[in-house]
Amino acid sequence: MSAPLVDIAGLVIGYDAAARQVRALDSASLQVREGETLAIVGESGSGKTTLGMAAGRLLPPEAQLLDGTITVAGVDVMQADDAALRRLRREKLGFVFQNPSTALDPTMRIGRQVALALGGQPGPEAVAALLARAELGDPERVLRAFPHELSGGMAQRVVIAMAIARAPQLLIADEPTASLDASIREKVMATLVRLRAESGASLVILSHDLRLIGRHADRVAVMYGGRIVELGAVAQVLQAPVHPYTRALLAAAAGNEVPGARLEPIQGTPPMLEGRCEACAYAPRCTFSVARCNSERPEAREVAGRLVVCHRAEEAIATGAMQPQEAR
């Protein structure tokens, strides 16, 4: 197998805030294979959006690259010059953002926006065809519409259409369905996944919705404190989680419980790192932490067919109390 499409190695990124620097990524490493659907899950502040945006060097100016590299389709993203970067974005990358209503220029008709995304001088048929691929009914009408005249789901389909316009090798979707109504999330997600499959591109979904990605992703990366704490096949990770955080997350989410059962919330709050974390970032909230967890930084290890960042991974598997709940 050739080199991975995306290779993120030891990425450290901080944000300049008022009087200090907040660390969003604390040496994150991840590889995305060609043609796979990878989900990155984590709560807000876990660093998943930073990781996704870093793939296109789309971070805001106050973000600072402190260490590490990120290579996409052979291009060193962080070191590339502006022209090379733009070529990469134009030809290899496609982004789908969380809020479709802001991702479209409000003053421009959809047809023109999509045409611009296609590049060159595409005829209306080409534009309509692209919209049809994104399962937009009545593309003729959509072409003439302004963004505000579309529902959220339709707008997101337009955004998806624009993202795949130039047949990118990598699609990055940041919470693509979070702002949509529950009843259509599934369908929009299905479209996205189908288009990926048709084009053979890789798809990275950033999300906090465990059930959703459980149905659509091949692999899943769980992020906490700016690191990927568990990475493996979706079925493995969600049905037999190893990292205590992954387990707690699954136990806390409403939807998997039986009627009358009680959810088990994770006590405490997520960390706000100001420098390299020299311990396990999850330790203060972890019900399994021991002294070592608070003093030694765990490194990624392969445990039970996946990568886990936890000192006590093996013990955790063995502990009956840590039996995973039924996942759907």
Partner 1 sequence: MSGFSKAAGRLLRADALTLFGLITLVTLLFLGIFGPWLPLGDPSRIAAGPRLGAPSAQFLFGTDELGRDFMPRVVQGIRSTFLLSAIAVTITAVIGSLLGMAAGYLGRFADQAIARGADILFAFPALVAGLLVAAVMGPGQGSAITVISIATLPLFIRVVRSVTLGIAGRGFVTAAEVAGASTLRIMLVHLLPNVMGAVMVQLTYALSIGMIIESALSFLGLGVQPPDASLGSLLRQGSSYLTIAPWMVLSSGAVLSLAIMSVNLVGDAVRDALEPLKGRPLT
Partner 2 sequence: MEPDVIALEDITVTYRSGFLGGTAFDALRGVSLRVKAGETVGLVGESGSGKTTLGRVCLGLLPPTQGQMRFGGAPFGKLRQRRGQLSVVLQHPEWALNPRLRCGTSVQEPLVLTGMPSSERRERVAEILGQVGLDPSFAARLPGQLSGGQRQRIAIARALVTNPRFIVFDEAVSALDVSVQAQVLNLIRDLQKRHGFGALFISHDLAATRYVSHRIAVMLRGEIVEDGPSARFYGTPEHPYSRALLGAA
Partner 3 sequence: MRLVVYLLPRVLAALVTLFGVSVLVFLSLRLLPGGYADILLGPFVTAEARAIIAQRYGLDQPLVLQYLRWVWAMLGGDFGISMVTQRPVIDELLRRAPVTLQLALIALGVALAVGYPLGVLSGTRAAKTRKGRDFGRVIGAMGASVPDFVLGSVLIFVFSVWSLWFRVGGYVPFSTDPVGNLRTMLLPGFTLSVFGVALILRTTRDAVLRVMTEGHITAAVARGDPPRVIIRRHILRNAAIPVVTVVATYFGFLLGGAVIVEVLFSVPGVGLYIFNGLLNRDYAIVQAGVLLAAVVFISINMLADVLYALIDPRVGATR
The residues that touch partner 3, with contacts defined as CB under 8 A, are 56, 58, 61, 85-91, 93, 95, 97, 99, 102-108, 116-117, 146, 148-149, 159, 162
**Smallest separation (angstroms) from partner 2 to the CB of 143:** 25
> Considering the rule CB under 8 A, would residue 255 count as an interface residue with partner 2?
yes
CB nearer to partner 2: give 153 or 232: 153
**Smallest separation (angstroms) from partner 1 to the CB of 85:** 7
Residue in this structure with the two tokens 């979070």, named with its chain if needed: 178
**Smallest separation (angstroms) from partner 3 to the CB of 142:** 14
Give the contacts of 250 (CB within 8 A, at least 6 positions apart): 210, 238, 241, 256, 324, 325, 327
**Smallest separation (angstroms) from partner 1 to the CB of 61:** 6
Q: Which does 252 bind (CB under 5 to 8 A by kind): partner 1, partner 2, partner 3, none?
A: partner 2
CB nearer to partner 2: give 181 or 315: 181
Q: Which does 19 bind (CB under 5 to 8 A by kind): partner 3, partner 1, partner 2, none?
A: partner 1
Bridge partners, 72 (sequence order): 6, 75
Compute CA 209 distance to the chain's CA centroid, rounded to the nearest angstrom.
11
Q: Which does 104 bind (CB under 5 to 8 A by kind): partner 2, partner 1, partner 3, none?
A: partner 3
Q: Which of 198, 223, 201 is nearest to 210 (CA)?
A: 223
Work out which of 1, 2, 61, 265 binds partner 1, going by CB under 8 A. Answer: 61
Q: Which does 149 bind (CB under 5 to 8 A by kind): partner 1, partner 3, partner 2, none?
A: partner 3
> Considering the rule CB under 8 A, would residue 43 count as an interface residue with partner 2?
yes
Give CA–CA dist 212/255, Å, rounded.
11
> Considering the rule CB under 8 A, would residue 106 count as an interface residue with partner 1?
no
Give the number of other Cβ atoms within 10 Å of residue 30's Cβ: 23
- For residue 158, CA distances in Å to 176, 183, 192, 308 come to 12, 18, 11, 37
Work out which of 1, 19, 291, 321 binds partner 1, going by CB under 8 A. Answer: 19
> Considering the rule CB under 8 A, would residue 18 count as an interface residue with partner 1?
yes
Give the contacts of 206 (CB within 8 A, at least 6 positions apart): 39, 40, 48, 49, 51, 52, 172, 173, 174, 175
> Considering the rule CB under 8 A, would residue 210 count as an interface residue with partner 2?
yes
Say if strands 37-41 and 6-16 run parallel, antiparallel, or are unpaired.
unpaired
Cα-trace Rg, the chain: 20
- By the criterion CB under 8 A, which residues form the site for partner 1? 18-19, 60-62, 82, 85-86
- By the criterion CB under 8 A, which residues form the site for partner 2? 43-44, 181-186, 208, 210-212, 248-249, 252-255, 257-259, 262-267, 269-270
